Amino acid sequence: MKKALTFLVLLVAFAGSSGIVNANSAAEMVFSEILNDNITGRTVMVLDRVLPEGSIVETWHEEVTVPMDAYLVLIDDMAYANWEHPCRWVFVGISGDMEIVNMTTPPNALERMAVTHTCLPQVDGKGQYEDFIAWFVPNVQSTPANAEHMYAWIISGGAGSGNNHIRYYGDVQFIYNVLARDYLIPDDHIIVCFADGLNPAPDQSGGINSNPDFDDDGDSDIIYDATAAGVTSGFNDINAMVGPTDHLFIYTTDHGGPGKGGVDLPPEVILNLWSGTLNDDTFMGYMDSFSAISAHVIMEQCNSGGFLEEVVNAGAAQPRTFASAANATESSWAGATYPEYDEYAYYWTGAMHGSTPPATSVPGGSLPGDPDMNGDGFVSMYEAAYRAEEWDTYAQSGQEHPMWDDIPDSCGDTYWLGGIINVEIGDTEYPVLPTGGLTITGNPVSSVSTVIFNLGNPGNVEIMVYDMSGHVVENLLNDELTAGQHSVNWSADGLAAGVYIVRFTSGDIIESVRAVKF
C-alpha cells in the first residue's frame, strides 16, 4: 500500500501576475522564478493537463494530494543520477500560484510528462544495441571447464517504463556478453530478470522495447521479468542449479532507495523492481540459501552500499565479495557515460573485459590503466572494484562513494569471473588454468573437506598442500589411480587460519586451487 503524504512542503507560494494558459506556461514560470533560468544539472518536465484539487498523484511509495487545480511540473535536481534522489514537484495553479513538494521519486506518470528544459544530451539511444554488437569482440579469458562451475543472476527492475532508461539495458547487455563470450558461461547458467520481461510493449523511457537477445545469437536471454514474482522465480531457478562445487555471481542495476530506516538499525535499503521492491533483508535470505562454494555481488543502484552487511557477514556460508557504486545513503550516477551506461558498472565490467564500448562523452576502447594490478594474468574481484572506483568520475569527485568488502578478509584477490584463481607453485609461478576439474567441497575448509578430481587416463596422481610461501604443509595423495572421478578427504584441523594452495599433478597436467581456512 502506498503511503499518503499528509502535508505539503511549502517552500514557495508565488502569486502570478496573470493566469497560466497551458502546461508549457507553467513549466516556463517554474524555470524562470524557481530556477532563475539555470538548468545546470537539472531537467524540467510537465504533465500536459490540469489536475483537479484533491486528486491523488502516485509515486513509487507514496501518494500526493493535489493542493489546487494545477499543472504538475517536475524539477529533477540530479538529472545524471539514478533514482532515488532529490527532486521537486511543483504544483502551478491556473492563477499562477505555486506550491512545492520535496520528493525523492518522480510521479508514476513520468512517461507522459514532456521535457521542457534539460542539461542532458538529446539522444534517443535507438542504435545502441546494434552499435554495441558491432563493437564487442570476445576476449576469451576462461575455459569451458571453468565455466561449467560458474553461474550468474542478473536483476534490473527499472521501476516502470518512464524510469527504465537505456543505460540499464546497456549495463546488462555489457555484463551478459562478458559473462557469456569472455568467460564462456553457458546461456542456461545465466538467469536474467529484466524490466517487464518478454512483454512486447515498449518498456524503456525512450519509447522502445528492450531486445531480449543480448548477444545477438538468435535466442532470448531475458528469462523472467523483474517484478517481485519474476525475481522470486529467478532465485528459485539459480538456487536449484548452483551446488557446492559452483561459484555464483550476482549483478544488479537500475534504481534503489532507502527502506524502513531507524537510528539504531543497520542501513535498510531496497532495490526497485518493475512495480515493486526487493529489500536487503529478503536479499540476505537469498544469499544464505545458496550452497555455492563462493558468491560475489556487484550492485550499481542508488543506496546499494546498504546491502553490504547482508552479503558480507560473520555467518556467511562461503567466501563472499561485495562491490557497489554508492554507499547506503546516496545516489549512484550515470555520469560521463550517460545515456548508454552507468559509469561505475561500465568501468567494472570494462575491467573484466579489457576495454570499454564508446559512450556519449567517453570514446571507449583502451582502459585508463591495467586492471590486472598484480600482473598475475587474472582480473580479480578486488582489482575490478578498485579500478572502477578509481576511474569513476563521480567517485573521484566525492558525489558517490563505492563500497567494497570481502569475507574472509582479502579473499577478493582469490576470485575472478572464471571462479577461483589458480596459481602453479614453482620457480616461474605462471598462472595455470584448470583442465581436469579439481574442486574442494567445504571451502573455506574446516574439520574435513573433500578434494575431488578427474582422470581421463590411468596414472599417478600427487596432491600436495602448500602455504602461500610455497612450503609443503601436507601430502594428501601420491598413488596410481584408474581413470574416472576420485576424491580424497582432507582434515585441516591442525592448520593455522590463512590461504593455502592445493596442487594436483598427473603427468603433464598441473592444477591448483586456493583453499581458505578460517
Q: Residue type for 63, please?
A: E
The CATH number given to whatever domain includes residue 159 is 3.40.50.12660
The whole-angstrom separation of Cα 265 and Cα 481 is 56
Q: Which of the listed residues 386, 420, 454 is the one where a domain comes to its end?
A: 420
In the listed set 62, 85, 118, which residue is the last one of a domain according to the structure? 118
> What average pLDDT score do residues 311-324 get?
94
Residues 231 and 320 in one domain: yes
Residue 16 pLDDT greater than 60, yes or no: no
Q: Which comes out higher in pLDDT, residue 448 or 311?
A: 311
What is the model's pTM?
0.79
Amino acid letter, 201: A
Mean pLDDT computed over 120-124: 78
Q: Which residue has the higher pLDDT, 155 or 429?
A: 155
495 and 460, same domain (yes or no)? yes
Residues ≥6 apart with Cβ < 8 Å to 344: 300, 325, 326, 332, 333, 388, 389, 392, 394, 395, 400, 402
Residue 266, all three cell numbers: 543497520
Q: pLDDT band at 435, cuts 50/70/90? A: very low
pLDDT score recorded for residue 280: 95
Per-residue pLDDT reduced to its tens digit, 23-33: 999 999 999 99
**Strand pairing report for 190-194 and 150-156:** parallel
Write down the residue that cell numbers 570514446 correspond to.
363
Q: At what angle do helices 381-391 and 343-353 cross, to 10 degrees?
A: 130
**Whole-number Å distance between alpha carbons of 218 and 230:** 23
Please compute the mean of the pLDDT values over residues 426-435 and round it to a whole number. 36
Smallest CA-to-CA distance from 191 within 146, 144, 248 is with 248
In a domain, residue 126? The reply is no
Number of Cβ within a 10 Å radius of residue 61: 18
Q: How far is CA 231 from CA 15, 119, 171, 192, in A?
A: 48, 34, 18, 9
Q: Identify the helix (H) or strand (E) that includes residue 253.
A: strand 247-253
Sign of the C-alpha dihedral, residues 404, 407, 412, 416? negative
Q: What angle separates helix 128-135 from helix 166-177, to the nearest 10 degrees?
A: 20
Please check the confidence at residue 5 and state whether its pLDDT lies above 60. Answer: no
Q: Quick one: pLDDT at residue 4?
A: 53
Is residue 129 a part of any domain in this protein? no
Per-residue H/E/C for 81-119: ECCCCCEEEEEEECCCCEEEEEECCCECCHHHEEEEEEC
Do you know the residue count of the chain?
Answer: 518
Predicted local confidence at residue 3, as pLDDT: 58
Give the C-alpha distances (Å, rounded to integers) separating 168 from 161, 275, 368, 407: 12, 16, 23, 29
Phi, psi of 403 (to 5 degrees): -110, 150
Confidence of residue 91 (pLDDT cuts 50, 70, 90): very high
Question: How far is 345 from 299, CA to CA, in rounded Å?
Answer: 8
The span from the CA of 108 to the CA of 493, in Å, is 58
The predicted structure's pLDDT at residue 517: 79
Q: pLDDT digits over 270-303, tens only?
A: 999 998 999 999 999 999 999 999 999 999 999 9
Q: Are residues 107 and 165 in the same domain?
A: no
Number of domains into which the chain is organized: 3
**Would residue 159 be called left, alpha or beta, if left means φ above 0 and alpha means ψ between -120 and 50 degrees?**
left
Which of 227, 215, 136, 234 shows the shortest CA–CA distance to 172? 215
**Amino acid occupying residue 22:** N
**Residue 362 belongs to a domain:** no
Q: Examine the pLDDT at 375 and tell me if it is beyond 80.
A: yes
C-alpha cell at 161: 517504463
Enclosing domain of residue 290 = 141-333+375-420
What is the helix (H) or strand (E) element at residue 239, kind and residue range? helix 228-241
Pairing of strands 459-467, 472-481: antiparallel
Residue 223 — pLDDT band, cuts 50, 70, 90? very high
Residue 197 host element (H or E): none
Q: Are residues 222 and 262 part of one domain?
A: yes
Q: How far is residue 458's CA from residue 203's CA, in Å, rounded to a whole number?
A: 56
Rounded distance between C-alpha atoms, residue 231 and residue 443, angstroms: 28
Mean of pLDDT values over 41-49:
96
Q: What is the mean pLDDT of the chain?
A: 89
Same domain, 219 and 302: yes
On whether the CB atoms of residues 353 and 139 are closer than 8 A, the answer is yes
pLDDT band at 437 (very low <50, low <70, confident <90, very high): low
For residues 468 and 26, which has the higher predicted lDDT (pLDDT)? Answer: 26
Look at residue 132 and tell me if it is in a domain. Answer: no
pLDDT of residue 425: 44
Give the up-direction half-sphere exposure of residue 174: CA atoms within 13 A in the CB hemisphere: 33
With cell 524539477, the residue in question is 75
Task: Indicate the pLDDT class of residue 391, thresholds 50, 70 and 90.
Answer: very high
The answer to whether residue 183 sits within a structural domain is yes
* Residue 20 reports pLDDT greater than 70: yes
Q: Domain ends where: 84, 118, 152?
A: 118
Rounded (5°) CA angle 372-150-210:
90
130 Cβ neighbours under 8 A, 6+ residues apart: none
One domain for residues 322 and 446: no
Residues contacting residue 67 through CB under 8 Å, at least 6 positions apart: 8, 53, 91, 99
Does residue 34 register a pLDDT over 70?
A: yes
Q: pLDDT at position 266, please?
A: 55
Determine the pLDDT at residue 388.
Answer: 97
Q: Is residue 127 part of a domain?
A: no
Q: 413-428, pLDDT tens digit by residue?
A: 999 999 998 654 443 3
The C-alpha cell 543480448 sits at: 214
| Residue found under cell 525512450 | 206
Query: 172 and 230 in one domain?
Result: yes
Instruction: Identify whether residues 300 and 160 lie together within a single domain.
Output: yes
pLDDT tens digits, 172-219: 999 999 999 999 999 999 999 999 999 999 999 989 999 999 999 999
User: Tens digit of pLDDT for each residue in 138-160?
Assistant: 999 999 988 999 999 999 999 99
Domain co-membership, 286 together with 147: yes
- Specify if 133 maps to a domain: no
Query: What span, in angstroms and rounded, lies between the C-alpha atoms of 305 and 323?
Result: 8
Do 250 and 328 reside in the same domain of the chain?
A: yes
Q: Do 295 and 387 fall within a single domain?
A: yes
pLDDT of 439 > 90? The answer is no
Same domain, 260 and 402: yes
Is 235 a member of any domain? yes
Q: How confident is the model at residue 7 (pLDDT cuts 50, 70, 90)?
A: very low
Q: Assign residue 447 the CATH number of its domain.
A: 2.60.40.1930
E strands, 290-373, in order: 294-299, 320-324
Q: Give 327-368 pLDDT, tens digit per residue.
A: 999 999 998 999 999 999 999 999 999 999 999 889 999 999
- The predicted pLDDT at position 501 comes to 82
